[in-house]
Amino acid sequence: MPVRISRITARLAVAAAVAAASLSLGGIPAGADPDTPAQAPTLPGVSVPDLKTDDGSYIKSVGLKDERTVTFTVFSAAMNQVFPVDVLRPEDTSEARPTLYLLNGAGGGVDQATWQLRTDALDFLADKNINVVQPIGGAFSWYTDWIKPDKSLGVNEWSTYLGKELPPLMDAALGSNGVNAIAGISMAGLPVLNSVIFNPGLFRSAAVYSGFFQTVTPQGRESIKMVTELYGGGKVENMWGPEGSPLWAANDPTLNAEKLRGTNLFISTGNGIPGAFDVPGARGRMENPADTAKTVALGSFIEANVELSTIILQKRLESLGIPATFEFRNSGTHIWGYWQDDLKASWPVLAQGLFSAP
């Protein structure tokens, strides 16, 4: 019997997902030009390359955050905007290294819900001899290409940015070896897989932690609408056109799963049953402790539906004979404490693509 998620269930789940994130947008707006002058960094192998992509994108400047971390400001020609990109450099830069693109969720990394602030992911990855590229921006956009500008969310061409503009610029600036993997949480799950589908051979491994994977089903459409419209204030018609338009199907990784063949895949999910990180003050929690019970209830509802979406993807991949590693945790809601552990569990799969011969 096919697994089904009701329209109302999906609507509530996605609403809870974004609400639970406690978004507090702040800092330098991703689309704003911070007007940072180009600097001569002291990190080995880091530069502002004299390079433009085919569409005219380029790195405007680079600044040092610490002895291992740099922030690039990248001009996206597709969006006609400048965006920050945080990069953790490898411990050993004596030779060219591979790159992991690590995506945040609905807040686009400009809020408090980020890998850097909520997990020890960067500490874990610090000795893996990889570049860790964290693009900033794209809140509520589903990191996809929109067909027209939006009054609230502006111009969004994130699929082009992540797949066509940013990788060659990062390769040139970091002296990397051109081998890539991509990973992300929650809202980023859909574009992580679509980045693989739309850019054959660019990402050898992909990992998703608690993502949604359907867009053509009723529950999938409601998921998209809730994030973009209710919380982002945008209009999905500006993204892929009216519901049922061809772009909705073109952006469904479950429907287009055949194009995932050959990629090392890791997908994880909880089941909504509260676990170790669902108590006040637990690792990765963001809310006031007095609000934990309410937030856990929301996160439980979300993750139960994430699990169902993951099962649909799993069955699809199995029907196609495409291997993938699925991690169905026996507890856990939609919160950073679990994603920290999931990233670590996914490392062997990510490393398989980053370090093994194709």
Tell which phi-psi region holds residue 321, choosing left (phi > 0), alpha (psi between -120 and 50) or beta. left
Check residue 67 and report its DSSP letter. S
Spatial neighbors of 35 by CB under 8 A, at least 6 apart, are: none
- Summarised one tens digit per residue, pLDDT across range 147-160 is 999 999 999 999 99
Q: Are 196 and 206 in contact (CB under 8 A)?
A: yes
Q: Count other Cβ atoms within 10 Å, centred on residue 121.
A: 22
Q: What pLDDT band is residue 9 in, cutting at 50, 70 and 90?
A: very low
* pLDDT above 90: residue 242: yes
Instruction: Give residue 58's pLDDT.
Output: 96
Q: Which residues contact 174 (CB under 8 A, 6 or more apart)?
A: 45, 46, 87, 89, 97, 99, 131
Check residue 43 and give its pLDDT.
Answer: 67
Could you tell me if 195 and 163 are in contact, meaning their C-beta atoms sit under 8 angstroms apart?
A: yes
Using one digit for the tens of pLDDT, what is the confidence trace for 34-82? 444 354 455 667 877 788 999 999 999 999 888 889 999 999 999 999 9
Would the pLDDT of 122 be above 50? yes
Round to whole Å and give the CA distance between 73 and 326.
36
Beta bridge partners of 62: 72
Sequence-distant (≥ 6) Cβ neighbours of residue 26 within 8 angstroms: 110, 111
CA dihedral 334, 327, 251, 335 (to 10 degrees): 10
Average pLDDT value for the chain: 88
Q: How far is CA 23 from CA 61, 155, 232, 302, in A?
A: 28, 21, 11, 16
**DSSP class of 140:** T
Choose the weakest-confidence range: 98-112, 193-207, 256-270: 98-112
For residue 154, the 8-state DSSP code is B
In contact, 260 and 182? CB cutoff 8 Å: no
Domain 7-27+87-355 classified CATH 3.40.640.10? no
| pLDDT of 129 higher than 70 | yes
Residue for token pair 């690590």: 102
Q: What confidence tens digit (pLDDT) does each residue in 174-204 have?
A: 999 999 999 999 999 999 999 999 999 999 9
State residue 25's pLDDT score. 31
In this structure, the number of other CB atoms found within 10 A of the CB of residue 60 comes to 17
The model's confidence at residue 282, banded by pLDDT at 50, 70 and 90, is: confident
Spatial distance between the Cα atoms of 270 and 157, rounded to a whole number of angstroms: 31
Confidence of residue 7 (pLDDT cuts 50, 70, 90): very low
How is the chain split into domains, by residue range? Answer: 7-27+87-355
Could you tell me the pLDDT band of residue 12, with boundaries at 50, 70 and 90?
very low
Bigger pLDDT: 52 vs 325: 325
The mean pLDDT value for 274-300 works out to 84
Q: Is the dihedral of CA 24, 36, 156, 337 positive or negative?
A: negative
Checking if the pLDDT of 92 tops 60, the result is yes
Position 113 scores a pLDDT of: 85
pTM of the model as a whole = 0.89
> Which has more confidence, 237 or 230?
237
Q: Cα(215)–Cα(257) distance, rounded to whole angstroms? A: 13
Residue 326 has pLDDT above 60, yes or no: yes
